[in-house]
Structure 1
Amino acid sequence: MEEKQLDLLMRKFLDGTANESEKQQLNDWYRVQNERDIIWETDQPNEEKQVAKQMRQKLEAHIYAGRSRSMRFNNGVIGRAAAIFIGVSVMAGAYFHFKGPKSNLLPDRAVIAATSALENRYVLLPDSSTVLLHPGAKIDYHFDGKTRQLTLIGEAYFDIRHKTDQPFIIHTGKVITTVLGTAFNIKAYPGQKVTVAVTRGKVSVIDETKKMLAILTPNQSVEYSSETKTANQRAVKSEEMITWVKADMQFDDIPFKELAEKLEHRYNVSIKFKSPASEKQLISGHFNGTEPLDRVLQIISETTATTYTIDGNTVTVDTKGN
């Protein structure tokens, strides 16, 4: 689908004039992107080859940002009454995000979709906060200097870097969660209740009218229903609510090459092996799921006969002594 046609369909959907056929076209378009796990196209002709290369590498993000509005699809539910788009900031021609600089930090504004249906996605934000995206989750963030704004569809675990003068504000439908620096889980699927659970620090949760719903500390959660406009706060075991975070980071005696495929998807990197021996090295590990890639590789290197180097988004693994 051409960009102009796609933009027209999106506009019609947002203002409620799209017919069922047009809604289905949008759904089909998003499904194809979701299956391909690609970055969206750019409108810069001299960058076509680089974009094609990125597409072939099947990066896991569908990222674009810009002008003044933002659209997010919820796979398979276009045409239903549930909210599929969240309006916050996007679509300026087509903004695209290539493999990042050596810091792996993302730009100050972007849209990220964890398109894999089976694996989590680790995201390092511009302020060094981290987000673990549950399969299918999507975030749209904008850091303007005064605040750190982010919109979430789906489920994600946040570990927010403390900044007293720059609060982190998360929008999930009609619920707004504000933090300075803490760790917590949010589940916010269209048409379902929004749940916030804290593992460290303190967060405040309000509704769209700015009514206070809860102030949460560790092992507390609040569940909000937009239909009844009621909030239920309760004590929980937060660690039990985030078992999904480490689900794909528990492994026993698997070849390093097999593990590398998981890490590539999770951290959006490319892992290369310099020797067959390092590919076949058996790896066992039980991580909590929130570790950065460098820490994971460091532990593996300390407990096996392998070494590694990181250059931008490329990891090279070799056998010790080579």
Structure 2
Amino acid sequence: MNDELLIKYIQQTCSESEREQVRLWLAEETDHHRLFELEELYALKTQMRYARPARSEQAYERLLHRLHAQTPETNNRTTASLHLQPTSWKTLFSYAAVVSILCLLSANLIFLAQGEETAGTEAYNTIRVPKGQRVSVTLSDGTNVWLNAESQFSYPSQFKGDRRQVHLQGEAYFDVTPDRKHPFMVQLPSLNIKVLGTQFNAKAYPNEDHCITLRQGSVEVSTPNGKHLQKMLPKDQIYYRKSGKWEHRTQTNAAEASDWINGGLRIDNLPLHEFLPDLERHYDVEIHIQDAAIQDIPFTCHFKNGVDIKEALELLKATKQIDYIIDMKDIYLYKFHP
């Protein structure tokens, strides 16, 4: 496999035929996937800006310090590749250290479960993304998954059997590799999704409303008890409320649902108390409503990548509906008084 083609695949600049060529190559041998993991770490331009620069650089220095004492044999566990982008990478590592690099980098930048969980007969890895962070992972079949802050995602090191089963609590965007003989199944806290090959966003944090947005292809969404089942078309949205209410919307702006991938945060006519959990996850803060009169005030706004928490609060304050006080990571919201 040509290295230049791998880098084009990582940077999403290759054609559809080249993309399929890489996916077929990845599926051939485990060693191919490990080499691809290294290529992803070394790419001149990774796909997203997920990790905070200071945190990334600290992890990188720890990695350099520890790599000299480790060999591939000490960390030979197969894993999917994790993409986290610091502001800059220094000198490239040696190919012999690929597995060690993946394990150490994962441990420093996100929480990747050290032990393996079992679901049926397959061994599962679990990724836990902290508040204020985002991460992407490429699964063994070539499927790409982007994970939002405070998400937990479990997946097998290698898919086996007649289906590709994963588990999600939180928010993720999926670009699923087509395989009609092996449907891709996503188990959420209150919904199940069946996929053949498609792109969609799933937001399913525990104890919150679930929302599935389809961008391309087709998926089938159902409740575990079978009461609700819906085949979705592009631009469809399914809302499953905590109350048990099922809503099917058509002709939505599917691209907006995954705006968080690029570091943005979009609020569309939501009452204050409903979107505060998104603000808390996005900025790694705790927000406290001090005046019950403001909790149902609706807001519509779009915070672009790079907008910090103070700038976001100033935008909300500009509506002359709320005011705020920041105390370290705690934020207190009050009714606005001129």
Higher relative contact order, chain-length normalized (CA < 8 Å, sep 6+): 1
TM-score category, normalised to shorter length: 0.3 to 0.5
Higher helix share: 2
TM-score by length of 1: 0.47
TM-score, normalising length: structure 2: 0.45
